[in-house]
A and B are shown apart, each in its own frame.
Chain A
Amino acid sequence: MSKNVKRALVFWSGPAFCLVMGVVYLVAARASGQPELGLVLLIIMVVFGGVMVIVSRYSETVRGLLDRRDERITRIDLRATAAAGLALVLAIGAGAVYELSQGRDGTPYTWLALLSAVVYVGAVVVLRIKR
Chain B
Amino acid sequence: MELEVTGNNVRDLRTAQGLSQAQLAAAMDVSRQTINSIEVGRYTPSLALAVALARHFGSTVEEVFHVEER
Contact = CB atoms under 8 A, between A and B. Distances in A.
B45 interface: yes
A69 B33 contact: no
Contacts, number: 28
Contact of B29 (A60, A69, A73): A69
Q: Which of A63, A70, A72 has the most CB of B within 10 A?
A: A72
A72 B29 contact: no
Interface residues of B, number: 12
A60 B49 contact: no
B5 interface: no
Interface string A66-82: 00011111000000000
Contacts of B46: 71
A93 interface: no
Q: Which of B31, B33, B43 has the most CB of A within 10 A?
A: B31
A109 to B, nearest CB: 38
A72 B32 contact: no
Interface of A: 60-61, 63-64, 69-73
Interface of B: 29-34, 37, 43, 45-46, 48-49
13 contacts: A63-B31, A69-B30, A70-B31, A70-B34, A71-B45, A71-B48, A71-B49, A72-B30, A72-B31, A72-B34, A72-B43, A73-B31, A73-B34
